């Protein structure tokens, strides 16, 4: 049924986002709260390239990834000068700055008016307008991201990331250039998030700044903390829980006018209880 397909597409998009953040936070231990910014850059890139230039969707993903990669390297470089708490605060700051740019650079993004009329992808004449076909596209991307993520984390590159998470100073002593590793994974995570953004833009056919504010970054963080840091299966479980939860609440007769406030209460409580009793999340291997 179309509604279930819709939910499945959202789960797919958020899985890609969560997996991307997991590489940065879960495996490398960098508390980054700005993933929505990269999500947004990917979405706006696709939106602008498709509506103003008629570019092919898949090509726009590549362009979007390149732009996001460059921006994330700049942001990542600045952030690498900070540690711990300051890193998180700095990332907050970047999210807000990027959001301001989406909102105020109106000649490019049309600001709060948003960009409507984004077309669905087309490839070899195959029309992705049918939701079920779009879902298959999303699943293909999500699987690709999942396996890429697993490949990275199981490789020797991934082992260095985990070592950075556990004790950065120690691994520096061994001669590893930790800055290189941190920047690389930060950029990779950002580029993957931009793929999710492109899919989002084409699916909803409309983007506007409100979807990429700080609260979205916090939501993605909550997903991976719930599901389990540094565990890719856990991340998907977290996505399923937190995306299905508000939709399920639609059916379970909470009085309409407090339903979404109750959802916020639930999120907050989930975060608090997890931190108190299970900081590694449901399936995670890394205790924050």
Partner 1 sequence: MEIVPQLIVNSIIAGAIYSMVALGFNLIYGTAKFFDLGYGVLTAIGGYAVFYFSSTLGFNIYISIILGVLVAGFVGYLIEKIVYKKLRARKASSMVFMVAALGVMTTLQAIIAILFSSQFQVFPATINTQTFQIFGGVITGVQLIALTLSIVIMFVLVLTLRFTKFGKAIKAVSDDAEVAKMVGINTDGIISKVFFIGSCIAGLAGVLVGFDTGIEPIMGFSLLLKGVIASIIGGVGNIYGGVLGSFLLGFIENFGIWKISGEWKDAISFSVLIVFLLFRPNGILGKKQ
Partner 2 sequence: MKKIVGILVIILVVVGGIYFFKNKPTSTKGSGLKVGVILPLTGDLSITGEKLYQGVQLAQAQLEKEGVKFVVEDSHSKPTDAVSAASKLLNVDKVDVIIGTYSPDETIAVAPLALKENKDVFSFSFCSDSFKPLTNVFCGYPNADKQLDTVVPMIQKKGIKTMALVDANSDFGINSRDAMVRKAPSAGYTVVYNELVPNANGDYRTFATKIIASKADSVFVTMDNPVDALTVVKQLRELGFKGTAITFVDVDNKNLEKFGSFGEGTFAPGIAPSQFSSDYTSMYKAKFSGTPDYVSALGYDMTTYVVKAMEENPGKGSKTAVFNYKYKNPAIENFSFLEDRTVVYQLELQMAKNQQYVKAEY
**Burial letters 37-66, b for 16+ CB under 10 A, else e:** bbbbbbbbbbbbbbbeeebebeebbebbbe
Q: Judged by CB under 8 A, which stretch of 169-177, 179-187, 203-211, 261-269 contacts partner 1? A: 261-269
Residues 6+ apart with CB under 8 A from 257: none
Nearer residue to partner 2 within complex by CB, 252 or 276 = 252
Could you give the residue ranges of the DSSP H alpha helices within the chain? 2-22, 35-53, 57-79, 84-104, 106-109, 131-154, 156-166, 168-173, 178-204, 214-227, 232-251, 256-277
Q: What's the sign of the alpha-carbon dihedral 250, 254, 257, 262?
A: negative
By CB under 8 A, tell whether 273 contacts partner 2. no
- At residue 230, the 3 state secondary structure works out as coil
Task: Determine the Cα angle at 88 with ends 86 and 90, to 5°.
Answer: 65
Distance CA 108, CA 201 (A): 16
In eight-state DSSP terms, residue 210 is: G
Residue 206 phi/psi, 5-degree rounding, is -155, 135
By CB under 8 A, tell whether 112 contacts partner 2. yes
Q: Compose the 67-106 pattern: x for residues touching partner 2 by CB under 8 A, - for all others.
A: ------------------------------------xx--
Nearer residue to partner 2 within complex by CB, 145 or 226 = 226
Nearer residue to partner 1 within complex by CB, 2 or 257 = 257
Q: Compose the 146-185 pattern: x for residues touching partner 2 by CB under 8 A, - for all others.
A: ----------------------------------------
Shortest distance in whole angstroms from residue 96 CB to partner 1: 5
Distance CA 203, CA 232 (A): 25
Residue 207 phi/psi, 5-degree rounding, is -125, 145
Match 């990269």 to its residue by tokens: 38
Q: Judged by CB under 8 A, which stretch of 4-12, 22-30, 57-65, 90-98 contacts partner 2? A: 4-12
Enter the tokens of residue 237. Answer: 């479980």
Nearer residue to partner 2 within complex by CB, 10 or 171 = 10
By CB under 8 A, tell whether 177 contacts partner 1. no
Q: Which of residues 9-68 bind partner 2 (CB under 8 A)?
A: 10
Nearer residue to partner 2 within complex by CB, 2 or 85 = 2
Q: How many Å is the Cα radius of gyration of the chain?
A: 19
Q: Longest Cα pair distance anywhere in the chain, in angstroms? A: 59
- Residue 88 site contact among partner 2, partner 1, none (CB < 5 to 8 Å, cut-off depends on kind): partner 1
Q: Judged by CB under 8 A, which stretch of 6-14, 37-45, 54-62, 86-94 contacts partner 2? A: 6-14
Q: Which of residues 77-106 bind partner 1 (CB under 8 A)?
A: 78, 81-82, 84-86, 88-90, 92-94, 96-97, 100-101, 103-104
Residues binding partner 2 (CB under 8 A): 1-3, 6-7, 10, 103-104, 111-114, 116-117, 200, 204-206, 208, 210-211, 237, 241, 244, 246-248, 250-252, 256-261, 263-264, 278, 282-283
């Amino acid at each position: 049924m179309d509604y279930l397909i819709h939910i499945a597409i959202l789960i797919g998009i958020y899985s890609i986002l969560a997996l991307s953040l997991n590489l940065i936070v879960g495996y490398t231990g960098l508390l980054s709260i700005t993933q929505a910014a990269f999500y947004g850059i990917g979405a706006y890139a696709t939106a602008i390239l498709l509506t103003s230039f008629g570019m092919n969707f898949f090509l726009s993903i590549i362009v979007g990834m390149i732009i996001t990669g460059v921006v994330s390297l700049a942001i990542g470089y600045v952030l690498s000068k900070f540690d711990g708490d300051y890193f998180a605060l700095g990332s907050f700051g970047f999210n807000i700055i990027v959001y301001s740019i989406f909102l105020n650079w109106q000649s490019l993004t049309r600001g709060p008016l948003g960009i409507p009329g984004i077309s669905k992808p087309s490839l070899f004449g195959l029309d992705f307008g049918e939701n079920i076909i779009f879902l298959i596209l999303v699943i293909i991307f999500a699987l690709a991201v999942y396996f890429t993520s697993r490949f990275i984390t199981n490789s020797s590159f991934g082992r260095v990331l985990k070592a950075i998470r556990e004790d950065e100073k120690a691994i520096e002593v061994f001669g590893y250039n930790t800055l290189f590793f941190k920047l690389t994974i930060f950029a990779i995570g950002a580029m993957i998030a931009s793929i999710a953004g492109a899919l989002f833009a084409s699916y909803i056919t409309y983007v506007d700044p409100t979807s990429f504010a700080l609260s979205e970054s916090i939501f993605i963080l909550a997903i991976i903390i719930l599901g389990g840091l540094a565990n890719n299966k856990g991340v998907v479980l977290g996505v399923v829980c937190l995306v299905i939860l508000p939709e399920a609440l639609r059916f379970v007769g909470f009085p309409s006018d407090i339903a979404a406030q109750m959802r916020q209460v639930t999120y907050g409580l989930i975060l608090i209880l997890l931190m108190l009793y299970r900081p590694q999340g449901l399936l995670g291997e890394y205790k924050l």
